[in-house]
Amino acid sequence: MSEEARSESTSSDFPAVQFTQAREQQGLSVEQVCRQLNLSKAVVQAIEKGDLQYLSDPVFSRGYIRSYAKFLRLDADAIVASYNRASGNVQMASAVKAIGTVSTVPGRHQGRPLLKIGSWLFVLALIAASVWWWQTQQGLTTADREPLDNRPLSIETSDGNTLILPQLDDVAPEGSASDKSEDVIAAPIAAADEEEPVYLTEEQIEQLQDEQGAASSAAEQERESTPATSVSNGLEVAFSDDCWISIREVGGRTLFNGVAQAGQSLNFQSDSTLAVVIGKVNAVRMLSYEGESIDLAVLSKDNVARFSLPL
């Protein structure tokens, strides 16, 4: 048998006519198929003509035929099997066994224990830092935590003095205090019950009234004979309306700083120079220093006065 006869017999086994008929039935041209499948025109024509000599490479040819058959909705597996028989290339398929992943990184498995140990050390360090912070926030250790009842309590007042309160043990219980007070009260009552009542006569009553009247008249005469002296030798301020005022010793304490009410009077005694600020001059009814009245109209500006005493 000649080579041409052998080629024709093998080509007849490949169903090339099915591609042409299916393409024409769907109204597609060869150019459209080439654009859709991204194949060359020569490959498409070789498949439709059954030119196995052009499709001599079985690897690529099987892929072209399978893609074209699926595009035309033909049985791709049957057509590929026909191509294998016609070309004499039998496709050998074998099961692929899955193998595990092989690490190419050197020392990868050796590094995992080190990573775990480092993680545990970090967690332990974090816990230790949290415990240390909690203990420092407490402020006192176990040895220093003595009962507060055994320690005296000191309070600092506004004038700079420190008051030390007694311990709770020094304070007598309420029951004992009440018992003592009851005993103290009961003692005079018992003594009074034992003594017999004494009744004054009318003459004794008159005598006591005369002595009382003489004493009151003598005191009244003494008050009239004593000359009136002024007791206000410091700063005296009287207000007719609410007024803010500040009085302080220069370089020392503050005597008053606030709002004085209407009708209120303030008296201060100090040997230091006084710095006075009055926020509402027309609310001051009277201001005197060392017995001398001071005219605030001369010392004020916009109804506010700032001055020092003595002037």
Handedness of CA 41, 47, 53, 56 (dihedral sign): positive
Q: Quick one: which H or E segment has residue 6?
A: helix 3-12
Residue 62 has pLDDT above 70, yes or no: yes
How many Å apart are CA 69 and CA 20, to the nearest integer?
A: 11
Q: Check: CB of residue 47 under 8 Å from CB of residue 35.
A: no
pLDDT mean across residues, the chain? 76
d(CA 307, CA 8): 133
- pLDDT of 230 reads 40
CA 166 to CA 153: how far, in whole Å? 7
> What's the pLDDT tens digit per position in 172-218?
444 544 555 455 445 554 444 555 555 668 777 888 778 777 766 76
pLDDT of residue 6: 45
The residues with which 154 forms a beta bridge, in sequence order, are: 164
Domain ranges of the chain: 3-87, 235-309
Is the confidence at residue 163, as pLDDT, over 70? no
As a whole number of angstroms, the distance between CA 246 and CA 256 comes to: 6
pTM over 0.75: no
| Strand residue runs (E) in the chain | 153-156, 162-165, 235-239, 243-249, 254-260, 265-268, 274-278, 284-289, 292-293, 300-301, 304-309
107 or 235: whose pLDDT is higher?
235
Fold designation for 3-87: 434 Repressor (Amino-terminal Domain) (1.10.260)
pLDDT (average), residues 43-72: 89
